[in-house]
Amino acid sequence: MSDPNTEQVHDFEPGIAPSGLFWTIPIDQGAVDASPGSGRARYRLDDLALNDYHDFFTAISPNPPNVPSHVSFEVTWSGGNTRQRVADTEYDFTGTFIVSDARIAFTAWNDGTGVVYTSNPDGQTSDGAGVGHERNGVFF
């Protein structure tokens, strides 16, 4: 069996901020459209500039080499009728969600090599998708 750490050849992500915040960036609020009462939502970004760090271990190293890259994606939740309430006092989390199916269309490309990855949203299934309202942490 081969080492799974040697199999990864692309790691598209925003990197680690000087503050230590990782894999997280601000986005325009227009990228999200949600209707929690119906369970329908859409999260879409086009041509988002990221870096390709090759693999996870390179990405978390100090001053990692990277190649400018871009991603575009759209996640859609189709809505439904079943409401589900979740409450977890151990982790200070509560919410009411409309159980839903979700689909993801995703394309990532490396500007330096021209490699392109594209998902196929047809035939996807989801497990545990939903849209709703939640409270957590200090807001619990």
pLDDT in tens, 25-80: 999 999 999 999 899 999 999 999 999 999 999 999 999 999 999 999 999 999 98
What are 42's two structure tokens? Answer: 């859409």
- 1 falls in which pLDDT band (50, 70, 90)? low
The one-letter amino acid code at 95 reads G
Find tokens 């189709």 and name the residue.
78
Domain count, the chain: 1
What is the structure's pLDDT at 126? 86
pTM score = 0.80
Q: Identify which has the larger pLDDT, 6 or 71.
A: 71
Domain range for 42 is 4-139
Q: What is the distance between the alpha carbons of residues 94 and 31, in angstroms, rounded to a whole number?
A: 25
Residue with tokens 């409450």: 87
Closest to 12 in 3D by CA, of 129, 112, 133, 96 = 112
Q: Average the pLDDT over 83-98 and give the result.
A: 93
